[in-house]
Chain A
């Protein structure tokens, strides 16, 4: 018993060392933002989009990475975030054009974009909180399939709820609030949230349950509760990504929030490595970069007197091939389940 009462002294610098993974990721994102600020407007837009994907992938990581349960719900939460901010930030006269049947208390709202974006995150979290309660009781594959249904349901509801979402029509005229500095700051914010969460007691318990749910229960871990918390936090960050997306495009269409988006985000997470925050960040940036290169190639790149051009559609195939190669040869992803620590081998021990 007294064994559990004494404790060894804390090592100096231990705390600072724990922050290295966080700081390295922030530095990477800032460097990406700074580099892009020197580029052309078109290029800047691509980088902003990459940073928004990064926010969404980090959001997905919060749940999938820590719980080990697959989720296809990303595009649903992004849609909720995007439509929420559209409805509360669009100018009332625009709304009377696009959404004539919008309930009055929504029709009169004219919030600033930042408020709309945050509200988008909260709405996604709220929906996740309600739906997650029964969902998180399911195990493994069933839970994954249930999130897929959630995505389909949101897609169908938003695509037909004419009075509130405009149904199949696009909503236009959103403030183009998201520029490079905003995108960079939100990316950093998402990383900080995910890092603080993963350092929490609940996240450690959740990762334990990811490794072995039976042993976790035998250790007193309330798996359902901790999954739910991660799911809600994940939805919050993902919802914000959706709202940012809306304020980048200036328009919102339900078609943007379906299978292809969810799969892109999952591919990013898997390529980077779903079991570390570094993996989520690296995957988002790496696949965005690859996607951009392939896009350029599909359009044709002049090299000397030749025009290097790959057939349209080949880009998607190359993308899928990358995913396949990673799954086969590096199942833990580019980051291999580790954070960026710049220290020697993790297994060698750090206290001599």
Chain B
């Protein structure tokens, strides 16, 4: 049970955004994808979720190639991603945001409304249910984004900077939530994150990319010790 990228290359014109990266996400694990700004993390998630077809290389679920599938195919087959910029359905209510995903998963309108209520309870958003999404504060907005992803019952959940813009307390809550999601949904979680405290709290494994290429894969404590990691990471962010 794994989602994987194999020797993936992505180019935008002359820019090599991803170079020969192979990455594996097992069901049930939490994997951290880290690297400086512009390293190619989002591009890699786009590849894994069907939004970006790699120039070379393959994407596989349980060994089956899925690189030719359109984006909407992936959620139906267990691969769900969130966005760095959240991208809620801004004009719809919080509940409708979740219901839209649930109806895709086969729920009727009526049962979707009930299930959306359960999911919002789970994320502590019950009283936001009928709020228009554009009126949410930043941290609630991010949590609704997660609720919408969970509505699709993921086997593999790809989260693009879920803690961006959150304060320390909110980041702690998010850490608890992601642990709970892994346990309750039994899914593999890939987290792109710059917050090293959150990363070391969450992840069994880290995959480091720098300038589009894999620098290292391993346990967080091993990665922290690597001089290449320190120089690349601290050198490239300013």
B67 at the binding interface (Cβ < 8 Å): no
Would you call A218 and B71 a contact (CB within 8 A)? yes
Would you call A349 and B118 a contact (CB within 8 A)? no
Chain B: interface size category: 35 or more
Would you call B71 and A351 a contact (CB within 8 A)? no
> Which one, B75, B91, B129, contacts A351 given CB within 8 A?
B129
Would you call A3 and B118 a contact (CB within 8 A)? yes
Bits for A3-23, please: 1 = Cβ < 8 Å to B, else 0: 110111110000000000000
B229 at the binding interface (Cβ < 8 Å): no
Q: Which residues of A contact B90 (CB under 8 A)?
A: 211-212
B75 (CB) vs chain A CBs: closest residue: A220
CA distance A281 to B88 in the complex (A): 29
> Which one, A1, A199, A275, A350, contacts B130 given CB within 8 A?
A350
CA distance A3 to B96 in the complex (A): 19
Would you call B76 and A220 a contact (CB within 8 A)? yes
Report if A349-B129 is in contact (Cβ < 8 Å); known contacts: A1-B186, A7-B118, A201-B108: yes
A102 at the binding interface (Cβ < 8 Å): no
Would you call B118 and A8 a contact (CB within 8 A)? yes
How many residue pairs link A and B with beta carbons under 8 A? The number is 121
Would you call A201 and B103 a contact (CB within 8 A)? yes
CA distance A201 to B107 in the complex (A): 8
Bits for A282-310, please: 1 = Cβ < 8 Å to B, else 0: 00000000000000000000000000000
Q: Which residues of A contact B111 (CB under 8 A)?
A: 7
CA distance A6 to B87 in the complex (A): 28
How many residues on A have C-beta within 8 angstroms of the other chain's C-beta atoms? 37
Would you call A207 and B92 a contact (CB within 8 A)? yes
CA distance A323 to B73 in the complex (A): 41
Q: Which residues of A contact B131 (CB under 8 A)?
A: 347, 349
Would you call B184 and A3 a contact (CB within 8 A)? yes
Residues of B within 8 A of A (CB): 49, 51, 70-76, 80-81, 83, 87-93, 96-97, 99-101, 103-105, 107-112, 114-115, 117-119, 122, 127-132, 135, 148, 151-153, 184-186
Residues of A within 8 A of B (CB): 1-4, 6-10, 199-201, 204-205, 207-208, 210-212, 214-223, 275, 337, 346-351
> Ordered nearest first, which 8 A-B pairs have the shortest CB separation?
A220-B75, A211-B89, A208-B100, A215-B87, A201-B103, A217-B71, A7-B114, A220-B104
